[in-house]
Structure 1
């Protein structure tokens, strides 16, 4: 509500001073996709609410799976069906492969160097190839498996310590710390936050602050004329946070340049590639790449693990089946290793079902049309922002039986996967812009979840046998629980 009041106040003033009643283009293009009628100045912003993924899903039920809106001055195309997503993400992937860059991400010129936001061109291809070859390839992930295993062991040790002291575990916070240190060990061969302390160190707070600011609705994104003003100060704060992160990265790079022989990690690969290909990767690219990887690999992992634990606690049958599978193939009270994942199909089904009903990034990363595009006989104007509502697709009752129920069993007899080939289930996106970190997430999530389930029983409070948890969502850069999951671990042995 506060956001809308600010928007209305600023742009009523703007409209009066410029002596205009509308800032929409005159002469509406023909054959636009259907959508709600926009109001002057604010367009359809008033329809979004604080849960836009839900609001746009309801609007799509009225106007169709290919829907056109005006959000302030920005034209937006919303895709809400698997068939339409396939058209955008596969059949016409190149036409829809550019990015709509949020104003906040232009802080420190980050979007100019970031593989997430760069256009599909030579520089982007070079960085993506580097990621796929040196970080997320099977051989690279296998080489760092022992580091990830150690971090998950520390997560279990943290939960065991909490149990001994009678404390609850904030699942999201614990998973965030684990993910952060898992990545920092992969990149730098060292921890950047204390795995046993909730207060954490500077870097943990820094990443958390960046994700919080980037997830806020920003007036500048709907009314670009406000770019110079930055009325909410989001870009100014992110400039500060990015600057601090880059300083930390610079220190680590300088430290490594003085001692390269003893480490075999991502930073060494970056420096080696940069020396051999200075036209494709320079120190600024390295810092932006590291920032992308930390941002993408922490909140998404922690929110997915939290939702999975929440759904399991709300579904005793699922909990029982998961524990039975773990006991049979791993042994009660033991750690789950990456080599065990293929022997735990039901655990995999739980994670697929979690990603179906709680995709970590509900609209994926926004795309943008660089030219006018024809889509299913509609005309999508040049410069239109494109949102694929993965949340709506995952809950589409025409695709999924009992679409709102958590039923991992649905995947036991289904070949549907999350790897970008099945558009009913696209939590990582698809096509050229599919999340490069998907192979890592596919290893980390089952190991973390399986180890937590196999080492502990979990209760909402120390004396409760019945779990009642709300499923309210908090919309942001990732889709988190509105109220954090805090539960008590009871060691199995």
Structure 2
């Protein structure tokens, strides 16, 4: 579908066949990001992973992400942080059993702390202020930027009011992240610190990169980690819980599986996750119906290209509608139904090779934090189901709000407030690996 959005010629891709062409067959041609004023301001000239122009610098950042920051080995090394923070959430819930708990609020807090600890290390005095600022930044950046639709009208930058707000937030971010980096630099070489920031600082100081990393580059990458990871992971957990409450049979099946697999041990940790086949199917079905970013980050055609008989000129903006693709009736039976069983004994996954299911994108610009986020989602859901039964405050599922809020990310319109009922006792042994 072609749209003329202001001065910007835009193609919207809503079918798996065309998505495959854009994200695989002609991936290199569509790997560019369109220029956006918000990214230019907040991401230090678009030098982050998500919005950097396609080229040598971006390719280097991508390698750093896949081999250093978010490799499977690195993600596994943060296991103790995930388990500790999920257990902290469970302990809070345990103290409030029988009472209403704002799960949305607590999940957002948990994911923010997990990302902060993995990004900065165990201790960061500016952590709370930093997380609060990121939330404000994400909220402002999600609003439609009218000046990006009329790039030649420079005066729109001023009258829209968004540019001054972003510049103000950017200055605050720069001060806080600058203080955090200064503290981290003092520890480089003195103690072994397993944090994403320490990895980037070490790479910068070694001076062996083709494109030397600057402090501003590192600040931009750190912003990506928080802006992309905090809302998305917590929102998927919220939607999974919402859908299971809406579909009690699914809730019972997932709960029984978790308790059967972990029952003999008396506690839940990441070692048990691989056995939870049905829970993984629940998560896949949640990602299908509630894709974290319904419209994947926009791409731009780098050169004229023919797709399905149509010529797409260079400079055309391309939006991939992952939400519509995940509900395409040609690929999904009863597409609007929440039915995790469709993924049982199925080879379809979200790693970018099945273009009817692309919640994390596909190709060169695929989300590099996929495994980091899914590990948090799986562990948290498993623990919520293992330790508690869950009820709605009024006990009537017909009053469960399932409306999505407007915005770049798929979130519930209202917070998910539930009543937890204790089922399994929490672990008390200090020898357990949490």
Question: Root-mean-square deviation (CA), in Å?
Answer: 2.0
**Paired residue for 1:272, among 177, 202, 208?**
202
**Paired residue for 2:330, among 398, 403, 409?**
398
- Within-5 A mapping of 1:444-483: 444-461=376-393, 464=395, 466=397, 468-483=399-414
Distance 1:243 1:309 in 2: 37
- Within-5 A mapping of 1:39-78: 67-78=1-12
Tell me which residue corresponds to 1:427.
Answer: 359
Q: In the alignment, is the contact (CA less than 8 A) between 1:181 and 1:193 conserved in 2?
A: no
Tell me which residue corresponds to 1:35.
Answer: none
Q: In the alignment, is the contact (CA less than 8 A) between 1:355 and 1:427 conserved in 2?
A: yes
**Paired residue for 2:178, among 250, 258, 283?**
250
Alpha-carbon deviations, 1:418-443, whole Å to 9, x = none?
00000010000000001000111121
Tell me which residue corresponds to 1:113.
Answer: 47
SS of 2:213's equivalent in the other structure is coil
Q: Residue 244 and residue 162 in structure 1: after superposition, are their counterparts in 2 closer, same or farther (change >3 A)?
A: farther
Alpha-carbon deviations, 1:380-425, whole Å to 9, x = none?
1221111100000111111100100000000002110000000010
Tell me which residue corresponds to 1:82.
Answer: 16
Tell me which residue corresponds to 2:88.
Answer: 154
- Within-5 A mapping of 1:324-473: 324-331=256-263, 335-461=267-393, 464=395, 466=397, 468-473=399-404
Q: Residue 447 and residue 349 in structure 1: after superposition, are their counterparts in 2 closer, same or farther (change >3 A)?
A: same
* Pair 1:234 & 2:166 matched: no
Distance 1:311 1:108 in 2: 35
Tell me which residue corresponds to 2:432.
Answer: none
Name whichever of 247-256 and 102-111 sits farther off. 102-111
What TM-score, normalized by structure 2, do the two folds share? 0.92
Distance 2:187 2:123 in 1: 18
SS of 1:149's equivalent in the other structure is helix
Name whichever of 227-236 and 185-194 sits farther off. 185-194
How many pairs are equivalent?
419
Larger radius of gyration: 1
Distance 1:332 1:483 in 2: 37
Tell me which residue corresponds to 1:48.
Answer: none
Q: Residue 442 and residue 108 in structure 1: after superposition, are their counterparts in 2 closer, same or farther (change >3 A)?
A: closer
- Name stretches of at least 5 consecutive residues in structure 1 with no aligned partner: 1-66, 195-199
**Paired residue for 1:92, among 10, 18, 26?**
26
Distance 1:479 1:414 in 2: 25
* Pair 1:305 & 2:237 matched: yes
Q: Residue 78 and residue 274 in structure 1: after superposition, are their counterparts in 2 closer, same or farther (change >3 A)?
A: same
Distance 2:280 2:177 in 1: 35
TM-superposed CA distance for 1:355, in Å, is 0.4
SS of 2:376's equivalent in the other structure is helix
TM-superposed CA distance for 1:207, in Å, is 1.2
Alpha-carbon deviations, 1:302-344, whole Å to 9, x = none?
1111111110110000000001101110129955322222100
What TM-score, normalized by structure 1, do the two folds share? 0.81
TM-superposed CA distance for 1:218, in Å, is 1.7
Distance 2:111 2:228 in 1: 10
Distance 1:475 1:111 in 2: 27
**Paired residue for 1:281, among 213, 227, 230?**
213
- Name stretches of at least 5 consecutive residues in structure 2 with no aligned partner: 425-434
TM-superposed CA distance for 1:264, in Å, is 2.4
Tell me which residue corresponds to 1:141.
Answer: 75
Tell me which residue corresponds to 1:187.
Answer: 119
Q: Quick one: higher RCO (CA 8 Å, sep 6+), 1 or 2? A: 2
Q: Residue 137 and residue 201 in structure 1: after superposition, are their counterparts in 2 closer, same or farther (change >3 A)?
A: closer
SS of 1:94's equivalent in the other structure is coil
